[in-house]
Amino acid sequence: MMQEQLLVASIAGRRVAIPSGQILSVIELDEIECVPRSPPGVAGLTALRSRVLTVIDCAQVIDPANYSDEDGRAGEPYAVVIDIDDYGYALLVEDVEDVTEPHDKLSDAKADLGGGWSNFVIGVAETSVGALVVVDPVRIVRGVIAGATKAA
């Protein structure tokens, strides 16, 4: 039985994996429109083929204590595009490397990853490129939505 492939990317300076079954595409963002009074974690809006996407800054959501606007922002940022309940989201990542397969089922993340990582990590995958923490992009978006609801 074939395991779900994983996209290898970098978030907040950490190499991570994102399950490919949730990903619609990976894009380079050339323009992000700021949205006044948007909640923390929302970088703005962008368009992809005439569709508006909410841009989520994964580093700010996952590790706000160590977040810096300058982290990994050289050149065009990459974004992982997903859909949740028919809304489109572009999740900012610092780098995109490759797609790989886990050797086996995910194992529990036993180490304290610091920041808010434990809220977004669904396990650790052993792959041909090494051990990677696997993050759930839906949890990242829901984290922003929950934060906005608390602030309102």
Q: Where residue 106 sits, what CATH number does that domain have?
A: 2.40.50.180
Residue 1 lies in a domain: no
* pLDDT-flagged residues of the chain (< 70): 1-2, 68-76, 147-152
Tokens of 101: 């397969």
d(CA 91, CA 141): 8
d(CA 132, CA 18): 9
Answer yes or no: are the C-beta atoms of 140 and 81 closer than 8 Å.
Answer: no
pLDDT at 72: 46
The boundaries of the domain holding residue 31 are: 6-151
Residue 113 lies in a domain: yes
d(CA 63, CA 66): 6
pLDDT at 1: 46
Residue 137: helix, strand or coil by DSSP? helix
pLDDT at 145: 80
Residue 17 lies in a domain: yes
Dihedral angle at the C-alpha atoms of 25, 30, 45, 65, nearest 10 degrees? 90
Domain total in the chain: 1
Task: Report which secondary-structure segment, H or E, holds 85.
Answer: none
- pTM value? 0.87
Residue 34 lies in a domain: yes
If one counts every other C-beta atom within 10 angstroms of the C-beta of residue 75, the result is 8
Residue 87 lies in a domain: yes
Per-residue pLDDT tens digits for 93-108 = 999 999 999 998 888 8
